[in-house]
Structures are given as C-alpha cells and as structure tokens.
Structure 1
Amino acid sequence: MLDFSRPQVLGILGVILAGLLFALPNFLPASLVAQFPSWVPGGQLNLGLDLRGGSHILLEADPADVRRQRLEILEETVRAELRQADGGPIRVTDLGTRDGAVTFTVREPADLDRAVELMRGLARPVGGLTGQRSFDVEVRDGTRVVLTPTAAGLAAETDSAMAQAVEVIRRRIDELGTREPTILRQGANRIVVQVPGLQDPEQLKALIGKTARLEFKLVDTEADPAAVAEGRAPPGSQILPSVEGPPVVVKRRPIVTGDQLVDAQPSFQDGLPVVSFRFDATGGRRFGRATQENVGKPFAIILDNQVISAPRINEPILGGSGIIQGNFTTESANDLAILLRSGKLPVELKVIEERTVGPDLGADSIRAGALASILAVVLVAAFMIATYGRFGVYSVIALVLNGLLILGIMSGLGATLTLPGIAGFVLTIGAAVDANVLINERIREELRKGRKVVTAIETGYREAFRAIMDANVTNVIAAVLLFWFGSGPVKGFAVVLTIGIVTSVFTAVTVTRLMVARWVRAARPAALAL
C-alpha cells in the first residue's frame, strides 16, 4: 500500500496540479483572467441567482392558445391534403374553423368516402396507445366532415409546445450572453426562468414573452373599406393591427414564415436601425417567386399578428434575403434579431409572477458561506492536528487540496454554485476527514497489537479503505437520486456533494498515503506517536 511507482506519483501530482490551475482563476480579477492565453484554463465559478442576484419570472401558457394554433395548422394541412389527394383533388366548400373544430363540405358525394379516409389517415396516434388519436373524424348532414381535436391530442400538443418553448427561451437567453440560466417546467403549462446577474426583469420579459411568429403575407388591396371599418374581412383574408397606422387587411395564407429563416442581424440603412434577414433555399425560392408575381403590390411583414411594415414590391426580391424596416431603436432592432434567430415560441406565454433578487442578499450569503467554510476548516484542522499529530497535518493538507479540487472541477465544468451548493461544500469538509479518522484509528489499533510501523500503516489503509468505499458509495447513490428527482437548488447541492465525495476519497486516501509513504521512506521511524 505504501509503494508508489514513478508514473503513479506523476499521475497524482498531475491531477492536483490540474485542479489547482482550474481553481486559480477564481482568486484573480476577471480582467486579468481575460488576458490568459487560450490554452490556460480561465473559467470562473458561476454564481446562482441566490448568490449573484438576478431576475426570476414564472410564465404560463394558455391551453386555449394551443388549441387555437392547432386548429389553424390543422386547417392548412387539410386544405393542402385535399388539393393533393390521390386520384385527383377533392373539391370542398366552407372549409374553416367553427366551434373548436375544422369543418368542410364535400361538393361531390362520390368523394365523401375518399375525403373521410384521407382525414383519418391524418389523425396520428397519441402516446402510442391503441385507439388514442390526435382528432376524431365524423360526418354530419350527409356531406359535412368535422375534425374535432381529442383531449389526448391537445394534451400531447401542449406538452410538445411547452418542451419546445423551454428550448426557444434557452436560446434567446443565451443570445444575451448571460451564463447559466435556470429554465424549468413547472406542472403542465408553466415555465420558471431564473437568470443570474440580470437586474432588468422588463428586458427579460420583453425578450422571452414574445412568440416571435414572423410571417410575410400579401396585402388584400381589393377589400371593401366600409366592411373593413366594421371589422369584416373578405373570405381568405384577415384584419391585423399595424404599428404604422390603421389596421391592414392581409391574405390568410402566408408567402413564407419565420420557420424558414436562417439568420437575422441588426444593421443600418440610411442611418436608421433595421433588421436584415435571410431565408433558407426553400423559403428564398418561395419569397422570390411571390415577389416576381406581385410586383407593384404591397406585402405585409407580420410579427406576432401585428403588421410591422407593409412596403410595396417595386421589383422581385431574389436571393432569399431582405430588410425589415420600422420605428426601431438600436436596442429594439437587436432584440428583434435575437427573437427571429432563436425561433418562434410555439405558444403565447404570460408572466404571472416576477421578482428581482438584489446582489446585496447574494453577497451576504457568500460572506456567510465563506465564513462557515473557513470556520469548518479551522476547527476540523485543529481537531485533527491535536488528535493525530503529523498524520493530522497530512489530513489538513488533504482537506485544503480537496476544497481546491472541488472548486477547480466545478469551474472546469462550468457549474453553478448556489446557496445549497455552499451547504454541500461545507458538508464535504466534515465528511472529507471522516476517511482519515477511520484510517488513523485503524493504524492505532494495529500499533496496539504490536505490529511494526510500516505494517500497521499498510494494514490501516487497506482495511479502512473498504469501509470508506462502502460509506461513500451509499452517499453517491443518495446524491444521484437527489439530482435525478430534484430540481434547481437541490440539484446544485447534489452536484457539489458528488464532486466532494469523489475528491475527498482521492485526497484523503491516495494523497495522504503518498505523503505518509514519502515520510516513512525518508525518516524510517521505529515508532509512531499516534
């Protein structure tokens, strides 16, 4: 147990050195760390919302909005499938959304069975359960087909929309350059967002609260102004508010949507902030073809069902790129570009709770945690040295290295330290010396039996190692379960605890054994004062 080969010694020292290098940036100013060469570790420990301060908001999706969007998508899908049906298009009338269902009337009775089978083919299974479909298909009044979304289908759509919303929100916050946001689903239709270091919740709400549903639609220039004034739009068109003035009547069917957008960047044109955009190949072709066929006509750029701009098509816009003009500031142009790049939210989210955590509270927590950690180290060190002498000194050195290794590993992983994480850190300090206590007490027992110094030390480390591993394996299992079933701060506690267990076994067993072996080899003591 006390024999170490040269590669083993170099490996142990290499691990310690790497941990110290990764921990070092946390003790230096950020300005100095920024000047490090790229090959030098420069990651600093991220502080959570409870330590650094920041913004916390709770978002809620309206299931009715999910249902409405599902019906709109279903209506467009039905329209396209009827046109492209095998055996020729199926002609229908009155295709639209009524009373929470999509309905249409088949013109030719001979096409009714074909239409019903086509619609049933569109009703996909939900959750892999036999008999559960996304919508029901039924025939009323002989020729009218009604598609009604099922409860299981709506639940699946809501779950999918919320999962997608979490990822969209994460991308938007990452665009701000803010590190380590906490974004968690709460229940079926809520999302918790915590952004450390961001003290402006209004900016956060403006950024993630918008659905960013971008559409390009043709303006219906043939709409009757009198009917529009009464709120009535022609069939196939809709009335949308405009930021530039009175409402605008646009065609319901979009030329192209933001789903086909591949990039959006803030820029300037004629000294004014604008947003330049670029479509993918398919979107570029559709946009180019539409502008070629409608030269001289206006088209609307629509964001979240509001017309941002309605320019006239003076010439075909080819190449799949263009510019969105509006009453933008530099900041609003940048925010819009972020929204468009990160993709649209699949559902509208409303803020139902918000709060800002000030950095002063976090600073108090850090001071209290640091004080607790220092006191823990000092008291444990005093106890170990007073009880075990030289071997207690080795334990204290291992304890300090353990703390630095935890810090280095967390910095290297980009982990976030929260207040429960500090509690986990303090807990590992006490637990770290437990292994040394077991080892030292076992060595004492062997010495009382009359064994020689080297034999007592080897036996003490070997026999105590079994108990140490059993205890720490059970602790790791508990920490893994906390991480698996917990959320937020509980996960932070579990991460720190797991890292601390691994590093404490390494330092308390391997590192102290190396120090003891070196001392025994050099001093060759005939007896131990232990």
Structure 2
Amino acid sequence: MLQFPAWKKALIAILSLLGILYAAPNATGPWQFDGYPTWAPGKPMSLGLDLKGGAHILVEVETESVVWESMESTEESLRIGFREARIRTTNFTQNQQGLAITFGLRDAADLDAARQVISENAPTYELSLVGDKQFRLTLPESEVQAINQRTMSQSLEVVTRRVNALGLTEPTIQRQGQDRILIQVPGLSDTEQLKAILNAQAKLSFHLADFERMPSAVQSGRPPPGYILVPSQQKAADGSPAQMYLVTKQSYVSGENLDNAQATFQDGQPVVSFTFDASGGQRFGRVTQENVGGFLAIVLDDEVISAPQIRTAILGGSGVITGNFTLQGAQDLSLLLRAGALPAKMDPVEERTVGPGLGQDSIDAGSLAAIVGLVLVIVYMTASYGRFGVYANIALVLNLVLIIGILSALGATLTLPGIAGIVLTVGMAVDANVLIFERIREEAGLGRTVMNAVEAGYKRALTTIIDANLTTLIAAVLLFAFGAGPIRGFAITLAIGLVTSMFTAIMVTRFFVVHYVRVKRPSALPIAPRIVKAEEA
C-alpha cells in the first residue's frame, strides 16, 4: 500500500488538472477558444429553474383524440375500399366509447371480399358478427396502448424540437406519468410565447378546393360525399370565419412531408417558403400537374390559409404560403412547420413562473451552507488529525473541484437539490479519511511502526470504505432511476461526489501521507490531539 508507481502519480496529476480546467469557468466566466471542440473546457454549469428563475409548465396530452382520429381515418378507408370493391354496405357507424366500427352487408356473399378489404385497411381491428349480416370491428386494447405510446413519444419529440428551436438555455423536457409532459425553461420570462408555441397544432395539409359547388354546399351545410367544409383563417368583424371552403376530405400532401420551412419576403410581405422531401415533392408535383386550372387549399389547423389557383405544375417540390402574416407570425409558423405537428392537443395542468430573485436567494443560501460546512469540516479534521487532517482537507477541496468540473463537462444543470447533494458530499467526503486515520491510530496503538501502521490502516479500512460508499451509491442509482426532476439532480451530484471522494481519499490523501512517511520517516504519528509513540523497529 505504500508503493506509489509513476502511473498513479500521473493519473492524479492529469485528473486534478482536468478538474481544475473544467471547473474554472464557473469562477472566471465562460471562455472558449476558436476551433476547439464543444466538449473542451470553457463552459460553466447551467443553472436550473429553481436557481435562475423561469417558466414551469405541466401539460396533459389528449391521447384519446388520436385514437378517435385513427378510427375515423379507418372508417373512411373502409368506405372507399368497399366502394372500389363494389361491396354494398349499410349503417356505417362509429362508437368512440366502445372503440368500434359497425356496418352491415346487403349481400352475405360479399363477406369474403369484405374480409379482404378489412385486412388491407384495418389489419389491427378484430372482426365479429353481431347480427344478421351486421358486423363489428373493435380496436384491441393493445393497439390503443400502442397508439397512446406513439402519441406521447411523438409529442415529446415535437415539443423538444420546438422549445430548442427558440434558442433557450438548457430546457428540461420530460415525460411524467402516462399522458403528461413537464417543460421547464430557465431564464424565460415570456411564458405566453412558450404557451403559444406549445398549443399550436401546426397540422398542415393540402386539399383540392371546389369553388363551383361551394355556394350550394355552404348554403345547405351539407357537403357532397368526399368533401368537407373548412373555415378560412381570416375572420369577420364579429369573429366568425370570413368564408367557408369546400375542400376534398382527403389530403394529397401533409406537413409530415416537409423538409424545411423558412420565413422570407415576397413583394415586401412576410411569407413562409417550404420544401418537401422526395416523396412529398413527387406527390405535390403529381397533384398540381393533374389539376392545372383548379384550386389548391392550404389548410393549417383546420383552417384554410389560402386557396390559390394552380396555374402550372409545380415540380420542384417547393412553394410559398402567403397570408396576412407579420414577421413574427411568419417566423413562428416556419418554426412550427420545421418542428412538426403535434399529434394531439395539449392542455396546461400546472403553470408557474419562478422569479430570478428567489433563485438568487437559493444560490446564496446554498453557497452559505456549503461554505459553513466546508469550514467546519476543515477545522475539525485539522484539530483531530493534525498534518494528516491537512492532507484530508486538501483532498476535500480537490473533491469539490472535481465535482464541479465533472458537472460542467457533462453540461449538467445545477439545481437546488444538486447543491444539497454537494453539501452532503462535503461531509461524506471525509468519512473515508476518518476511517483510515482511526484505523492507523489503532494499529499504532498496538505497537506497530509508523510505516507499518499506515500500511495496515489503509489495507484494513479499504473494505469498510468500499462497502459504505457502495451502499450509498446504490441508493443514489435508485433515486435516479425512480425519481424525476429535482430528485434526479440530487442523485447525480451525490453519485458523482461518492466517486470523486473515493478517488481523493484512496488516491490523493494516500499520496500525501505516503510521501510524508517515506521522506520524513517520522518516529511518531503526527495525529492530534494525542501523539501515539511507535516502537522502535
């Protein structure tokens, strides 16, 4: 245990230097040299919502609406499939509560052909007979759960892209429970902009508009088969839609095929230019080529933005969305289109704003607790163990530097529970040294020489140190695995502190102690308050 090879000395020097370099920006301010990679030292830790202030929003995703939309889409596909197969049906109804679609067959001989249409358009549904030539298609619970899971995953991804596109600092976006998403944005004071970005659906689709049959359809309120009435985005003075459009129920291209969208200017007015991917570009080109002279309705969130006439085929896979946009409105719309459409509406469940003043109070209180704890530990260790206590204090300071350096290198966000974890680590970091020093003191009391007592103390205390830190590390891992938000921040700092304290106690402090013993060769242990005389060899 008293042998200290060169590679261990080099390891201590390298890790200590890296820790200082990564921790330094937290005291000096950020610095980054041009041409260096992003993981290079130079960035301080980011402060969490409870320290920096900002916006906290908990939203609930309406996953049920996605299930119902899936059923409506399936019903429409079945109608088209039966019509193309010349299968006559009756009483097509949809039971959203029972998650089922019921229909009847006029001719029982069409059953095999109907099964083929169902297998192509509703393969996940379960078919059952409920009466004379009456059938029920039921959506299994497993498929409902799969739809809900896909909805939450897509919503989380879209929200992350939207919030990150705002250029905000270290937002926290995570799923909570079955159907909720937590969004925390440190440093954000304008929560209304964030809510507007989150609440916008941004479901973009392109439909063919029929202006010839539109007046009669609007007057009767009954669109012909295969068409729907969609209000315009422009509003009248009383807030009602300025116009109703008759458009095809089927969309020919959707926002899912968008490759990019940017806010630009056309004739001095803000517009949104867009580009489709390869598949979307082909479909867009085909529909414009086959309907030259017709009208293409651009529908955003169930409202028609515009319905320009197709004067020529658009084969380049790009176009422009015009409207009464402000520059900010065009930028927000392009951001939403780039991020993608939300699969379901999100309802705010909890919303609050943390002021920067409260965060500063937390920083001051946490810093004071850390400083007071550090000073008391330093005083106690020096008074109890003399020179060895000084060595332990040096390792303790290095331990704090390493913790801050690791958090900075990982790009972690420091929260108030994280500060609590660091303060707890200050006390726990010296536990290993206390165990070692007390074991050395006992060994010396048994009559061993200083060198033998130091060697036996480190060797016999090592198992106890590993057991104690391992059990605490297991608790930290469980807190991280099953906790959320602040609990995870506490678990991370605690786990990092345990690892660094093991390194500083077993490696750094031992380096100082071994160096002192081998160079000075003392005849007595320099451990206060009592000096234990060692026997002569």
TM-score (norm 1): 0.91
Distance 1:242 1:469, change over 3 A: same
**Counterparts in 2 of 1:231 and 1:80: CA distance versus 1, 3 Å:** closer
Which whole-Å deviations, capped at 9, do the CAs of 1:92-148 have from their partners, x for residues lacking one? 557966443545565764332231254257655xxxxxxxxx533245675555434
Q: Label 1:397 to 1:80 Cα distance change in 2 as closer, same or farther (>3 A).
A: farther
Counterpart of 2:114 in structure 1: which amino acid?
A
User: Helix, strand or coil: the match of 1:421?
Assistant: helix
Equivalent pairs counted in the alignment come to: 515
Residue of structure 1 equivalent to 2:239 = none
Aligned to 1:112: 111
Are 1:211 and 2:201 an aligned pair? Answer: yes
**Paired residues of 2:29 and 2:44 also in contact (CA < 8 A):** no
Which residue in the other structure is 1:38 paired with? 36
Cα 1:333–1:441 shift into 2, 3 Å: same
Of the three residues 245, 259, 275, the one matched with 1:262 is: 259
Q: Deviations over 1:373-395 (max 9, x none)?
A: 11111010010011111111111
Q: For residue 18 of structure 2, what is the aligned residue in structure 1?
A: 18
CA distance in 1 between counterparts of 2:309 and 2:113 reads 43
Once the 2 structures are TM-superposed, how far is the Cα of residue 90 of structure 1 from its aligned partner? 5.1
Aligned to 1:433: 430
Change (3 A) 1:314 1:140: farther
What is the alpha-carbon distance in structure 1 between the residues aligned to residue 474 and residue 208 of structure 2? 60
Is 2:67 aligned against 1:67?
Answer: yes
CA offsets 1:145-185 (integer angstroms, 9 cap, x no match): 54343455334322331222112111211212224322333
Alpha-carbon distance between aligned partners in 2 of 1:213 and 1:224, rounded to the nearest angstrom: 23
> 2:319 matched to which residue of 1?
322
| Amino acid in the other structure paired with 2:193 | Q
Alpha-carbon distance change, 176 to 429 in structure 1, aligned in 2, over 3 angstroms: same
Deviation at 1:297, TM superposition (A): 1.7
Q: Tell me whether 295-304 or 498-507 shows the greater mean CA deviation.
A: 295-304
Aligned partners of 1:71 and 1:97 also within 8 Å: no
Instruction: Kindly indicate whether the alpha-carbon contact (under 8 Å) linking 2:103 and 2:136 is maintained by their aligned counterparts in 1.
Output: yes
User: In structure 2, what residue type is equivalent to 1:229?
Assistant: Q
Shift of 1:72: 2.8
% identity of equivalent residues: 51
Aligned to 1:492: 489
Give, in whole Å, the separation in 2 of the partners of 1:140 and 1:225: 42
Q: Aligned-pair distance for 1:252?
A: 0.6
Output aligned runs, 1:352-501, within 5 Å: 352-501=349-498
Unaligned runs of 5+ in 1: 125-133
Aligned twin of 2:308: 311
In structure 2, do the counterparts of structure 1 residues 224 and 7 end up closer, same or farther at CA, with 3 Å as the change threshold? closer
Counterpart-to-counterpart distance in 2, 1:36 and 1:524: 50
Match of 1:57 in 2: 57
What is aligned with 1:29? 29
Aligned-pair distance for 1:77? 4.4
Q: Does the Cα contact within 8 Å between 2:271 and 2:322 map onto a contact in 1? A: yes
Alignment partners' CA distance in 2, 1:116 and 1:74: 14
**Aligned 8 A contact 2:63 2:148 in 1:** yes
Aligned to 2:9: 9
Alpha-carbon distance in structure 1 between the residues aligned to 2:375 and 2:169: 33
Give the superposition deviation at 1:54: 1.1
Residue identity opposite 2:11 in structure 1:
G
- Structure 2 distance, partners of 1:79, 1:4, is 81
Q: Quickly say closer, same or farther: Cα 1:46–1:387, change in 2 above 3 A.
A: same
Of 179, 189, 200 in structure 2, the residue corresponding to residue 189 of structure 1 is: 179
CA distance in 1, matches of 2:86, 2:399: 73
Matched, 1:232 2:222: yes
Identify the range of structure 1 (348-357 vs 90-99) with the bigger mean alpha-carbon deviation.
90-99
Deviation of 1:57 (Å) = 1.3
1:29/1:455 CA distance change after superposition, 3 Å: same
Match of 2:159 among 169, 176, 188: 169
Instruction: Report if the CA contact (8 A) 1:250-1:300 is conserved.
Output: yes
Aligned pair in 2 of structure 1 residues 105, 264: CA closer, same or farther (>3 Å)? farther
Counterpart CA distance in 2 for 1:78 and 1:513 is 76
Quick check: 2:53–2:187 contact (8 Å CA) kept in 1? Answer: yes
- Asked if structure 1 preserves the Cα contact closer than 8 Å seen for 2:261 and 2:274, the reply is yes
- Structure 1 pair 336/393, CA: closer, same or farther in 2 (3 Å)? same
Residue 289 of structure 1 and its aligned partner are, at CA, apart by 0.7
Which residue of the partner structure matches residue 526 of structure 2? 529
Structure 1 residues 93, 334: CA separation in 2 closer, same or farther (over 3 Å shift)? Answer: farther
Q: 1:122 to 1:218 in 2, by over 3 A?
A: closer
Report the CA distance between 1:330 and its aligned residue.
2.3
> 2:389 is matched by which residue type in structure 1?
G
Once residues 267 and 8 of structure 2 are traced to their aligned partners in structure 1, the CA distance between those partners, rounded to angstroms, is: 67
- Residues 403 and 496 of structure 2 are in contact (CA less than 8 Å); yes or no, is this contact kept in structure 1? yes
**Per the alignment, in what secondary structure is the counterpart of residue 222 of structure 2?**
coil
Any conservation in 2 of the 1:95–1:102 contact (CA below 8 Å)?
no
Give 1:41 deviation, angstroms.
Answer: 1.4
Which one of 265, 278, 281 corresponds to residue 278 of structure 2?
281
Cα displacement string for residues 178-231 of structure 1 (whole angstroms, at most 9, x for unaligned residues): 243223333332222222222211111111222221101111223241431343
The whole-number CA distance in structure 2 between the counterparts of 1:158 and 1:400 is: 49
Determine if contact 2:45/2:413 at 8 Å carries over to the other structure. Answer: yes
How far apart are 1:73 and its partner, in Å?
A: 2.9
Distance (whole Å) between structure 1 residues aligned to residue 47 and residue 374 of structure 2: 22
CA separation of 1:197 and 1:301: change in aligned 2, threshold 3 A:
same
8 A Cα contact 2:450 2:522, kept in partner: yes
SS of the residue 1:290 aligns to = helix
More moved, 457-466 vs 145-154: 145-154
Looking at structure 2, the residues matched to 296 and 313 of structure 1 have their Cα atoms a distance apart, in angstroms, of: 5
Q: Distance in 2 between matches of 1:469 and 1:73?
A: 60
Please report how far the alpha carbon of residue 69 of structure 1 lies from its aligned counterpart in structure 2 after TM superposition.
1.2
Q: Is the 8 A contact 1:74 1:102 kept in 2?
A: no
- Specify which of 342, 347, 371 is matched with residue 345 of structure 1: 342
Partner of residue 130, structure 1: none
